[in-house]
A and B are shown apart, each in its own frame.
Chain A
Amino acid sequence: GDSVTQMEGPVTLSEEAFLTINCTYTATGYPSLFWYVQYPGEGLQLLLKATKADDKGSNKGFEATYRKETTSFHLEKGSVQVSDSAVYFCALPNTGNQFYFGTGTSLTVIP
């Protein structure tokens, strides 16, 4: 069945460090791919998405490229800030609009 696998956390980085959070997927067909972020005490928010192979989603300095050949959608940011501390979820929908989320990767950025 459809699924996503995220790298295990937690991840701790210093401010201005480079961030990569790995996500690979298994899916029938070529679904859209999503990254959501959950700040402490809040609900999930859409961070970015890509709708087809080779698409790059971007938002707030974060980027992710839909790689069909490696079935990956890794999240990257060139210079993280303390305010980026949150839990990040990779997700994909199946044909029935059911969203599958990864287990989440907790990021802490220290000044």
Chain B
Amino acid sequence: ETGVTQSPTHLIKTRGQQVTLRCSSQSGHNTVSWYQQALGQGPQFIFQYYREEENGRGNFPPRFSGLQFPNYSSELNVNALELDDSALYLCASSLESPSYNEQFFGPGTRLTVL
């Protein structure tokens, strides 16, 4: 059973560019949540996908968008990058609700915006 994987590991972009981050959920998990973790801070909830539909969104602007595919893998897209978008982006997968079933985190993608 493979765990949650994310790609790429590191990424450097410049302001105004667009980026796509990818997450492969753990086998059998149908729910993916994305988090932004700034340096020295706790993860901030971006949004959650359940069976290919957005199922909750945190306080992030619309330039943060996502997708979930039929195999339950997921993408996070960020348009018009800003310097403050520099952070570690984590995805987590779970079977149904992470409130009741453990969510498993990937190692994250470190995004640097210059």
Contacts and interface: CB of A to CB of B under 8 A. Distances in A.
A104 B90 contact: no
Contacts of A20: none
Contacts of B43: 44, 89, 99, 101
A32 interface: yes
Contact of A99 (B40, B41, B45, B55): B45
Interface string A64-106: 0000000000000000000000000101010011111111100
Interface stretch (B70-78, B79-87, B96-104): B96-104
A97 B55 contact: yes
B4 A43 contact: yes
A101 B42 CA distance: 6
A31 B108 CA distance: 27
Secondary structure of the B contact surface, majority rule: loop
A99 B108 contact: no
Interface string B34-61: 0100001111110010000001101000
Interface string A35-47: 0000001111110
Contacts of B45: 98-100
A41 to B, nearest CB: 8
Given A43-B108, A99-B103, 5 more contacts: A31-B99, A43-B107, A93-B98, A97-B48, A103-B41
